[in-house]
Structure 1
Amino acid sequence: MAASGLAAPALAADAFPSRPIRLVVPFPAGGGTDLVARTLGEGMGRELGQPLIIDNKPGGGTVIGSDTVAKSPPDGYTLLLTTSALPINATLIRKLPYDTVRDFSPLALVCRGPNVLVSRPDSRYKTIADVIREAKARPGKLTYGSSGNGTAVHLAGELFKSLAGIDITHVPYRGAGPAMTDLLGGQIDFVFGTPGGTGKFVDSGKMRAIAITSAQRSAVFKGVPTIAETVPGYEADVWYALYAPGNTPPDLLARLNAAVRKSADAPEFRKRVEAEGLSVAVNTPQEMTAFERAEEGRWHKVIVDGHITVD
């Protein structure tokens, strides 16, 4: 009987998963995060032998969906696919219903890519040096739009201001669409946006990509320089990552991570994310934990130094 009792946990672990897995996306259906989740989920389902059911839970700046996962059992059957919103909210939102470190187990970075600073094609601002020179000559007069206060693209702009030592005025919008409309209409000077949101305008010639926010140049935005080439140390990628509830056993994290890696390596996944200006960047749970802590520290400084609040 003793031998049987000792074998039970191993048999249970070996049987995982024995039912569908819920993949919570804290954004509405149809957006970039949803696309990554559905494409990745299809491949992971094949690898694990069980479907991943996408559960869109938008609201609260991703807090509602994140809290759902934070309060789920650590059994591998509920996962979160989110963005840098998770480490950003750790500082940005004063009363979170969860603890970002305690209540989540980092599982894997999935993919990442640059945000983009765009202007109108007839704008006299053609380079980052042009922007910095004008901003220093007219503090607070230049304006940049984003998809909302406290979003990753807003903070990309605030990090640029901080490292470049300039004052430009942020204009928050309720989503990327209105920001793009006002840029095209001449109401604002620039927009910090995602590759998916800006790509079609740049490709059609309706907007000019001044620079990208990644540390290295991107094959998607050929010939477009990085902000870091003018402002050393600048980096503000968009990224997508998977998390499990806190205290999820290491063997389950390893099993899930292996499925993520195989799914993300598939040609169909690479093709889909590359079309969004992203590249596959899967790491281990240990590496993701270190990455998460570094991101939380980076955005904590930007939020505190910039006196940024959302409530």
Structure 2
Amino acid sequence: MIRLTRRAAIAGATLAPFAVARAQGNWPDKPVRLVVPFTPGGSTDILARAMGQRLGEIFNQPFIVDNRPGAGGTVGSEQVYRAAPDGLTLMMGHIGTLACNPALYPNLTFDTARFVPVALVANVANFLVVTNGLAARDVQALIALAKSKPGELTYGSGGNGSAAHIAMVAFNEATGTEMTHVPYRGTGPMLTDLIGGTIQLTMTGGPPALPPVRAGQLRALGISSLERLPSANDIPTVASQGVQGFEALQWYGIVAPPGTPPAIVARLNEACNRTLGEAPFRARLESEGAVADPMTPAQFGDYIARERDRWGTLIRRNNVSLG
């Protein structure tokens, strides 16, 4: 069953006495920095701002989104990794920073597996969108066009090794097509060029993709989940259009520096999952093609490990490079 429809049960945790006292005491007694290791405008940024606003209301302290882009998210990730483990620095991680980057950056000076998982926020189906000037009106027409012009169609992403890049690598592999990757320094600039016709297509998350689709600036050919989304029920899945079993979800969740006390993690997880259970917040996510998927920290950690294995294998098999 597709994970977009799953709701994990929320379990309690056994907390060390010192951590309990600290978490139930003054934390957070200062503003919390929520690092987004990418430029503004992409799915990570959009979801971080939505969750940060609600967490700030719950804890009565600002959760300040801090964009720290660079090197496929590794710059911001390393800053969070080396930050004090006091619960005042967090990161909105995602499939790229937590699952793909270990394979893409074999010489990283920090171990992404040591981030402390806090809460999975949402799964986001990728939208396969094309410029209005492209003749293809469905997935099979796009495949036929790409095969008739190997390497001539160009797809954009937020950068080498980004989630959109890896999703298109998976699409090319599944369909036997060859399209040329054009990396940008962020999803926002890429979408601007896509709307302008500089590139022909992309496969990116719903939060940045849906607004230009709804405005008629781009055309959506399919989504990368196995089931249609309630918020975009008019858009068929890629899998239903002859690419059997195709699924390439982005996912987003909060992690903390190694050593962050379990009690602080538990309080954050409880607040995040409480937020994900609120109908207005779920509706806000769904309106942007994102689906809430609450997990315990342990469940989230297991999920990250499985995804790291899956996408790392794809990256190595296709010799994906950052050059």
- TM-score (norm: length of structure 1): 0.86
What is the CA distance between 1:128 and its match in structure 2? 1.6
Corresponding residue for 2:317? 305
One-letter code of the match for 2:29? R
Q: Secondary structure at the match of 1:101?
A: helix
Q: Say which one has the larger Rg.
A: 1
Corresponding residue for 1:3? none
Q: Is the 8 A contact 2:123 2:293 kept in 1?
A: yes
Q: Is the 8 A contact 2:94 2:253 kept in 1?
A: yes
- TM-score (norm: length of structure 2): 0.83
Output aligned runs, 1:262-277, within 5 Å: 262-277=274-289
2:171 paired with 1:160: yes
Gaps of 5+ in 1: 1-5
CA distance in 1, matches of 2:249, 2:261: 29
Corresponding residue for 2:207? 196
Change (3 A) 1:22 1:185: closer
Change (3 A) 1:250 1:166: same
CA distance in 1, matches of 2:264, 2:271: 11
- Root-mean-square deviation (Å): 2.6
CA distance in 1, matches of 2:65, 2:134: 42
Q: Deviations over 1:4-25 (max 9, x none)?
A: xx97665334325151233222
Q: Secondary structure at the match of 2:222?
A: strand
CA distance in 2, matches of 1:26, 1:195: 19
Corresponding residue for 1:205? 216
2:109 paired with 1:97: yes
Range that drifts further, 204-213 or 47-56 = 47-56
Instruction: Pick the aligned partner of 1:142 from 139, 153, 156.
Output: 153
What is the CA distance between 1:244 and its match in structure 2? 1.2
Gaps of 5+ in 2: 1-15
CA distance in 2, matches of 1:139, 1:7: 62
2:95 paired with 1:84: yes
Q: Deviations over 1:26-61 (max 9, x none)?
A: 233455433322321232233334443333322232
Q: Is the 8 A contact 1:93 1:309 kept in 2?
A: no
Change (3 A) 1:177 1:47: closer
Q: Is the 8 A contact 1:17 1:50 kept in 2?
A: no
Change (3 A) 1:16 1:183: same
Corresponding residue for 1:170? 181
Change (3 A) 1:202 1:286: same
Change (3 A) 1:130 1:28: closer
Instruction: Pick the aligned partner of 2:253 from 241, 245, 263.
Output: 241
CA distance in 2, matches of 1:139, 1:173: 22
Corresponding residue for 1:66? 77
Q: Deviations over 1:217-256 (max 9, x none)?
A: 1122222111122223322222221001223343332221
Aligned sequence identity (%): 38
One-letter code of the match for 1:197? P
2:154 paired with 1:123: no
Q: Deviations over 1:101-145 (max 9, x none)?
A: 12x011111012211112244533222222233434443343323
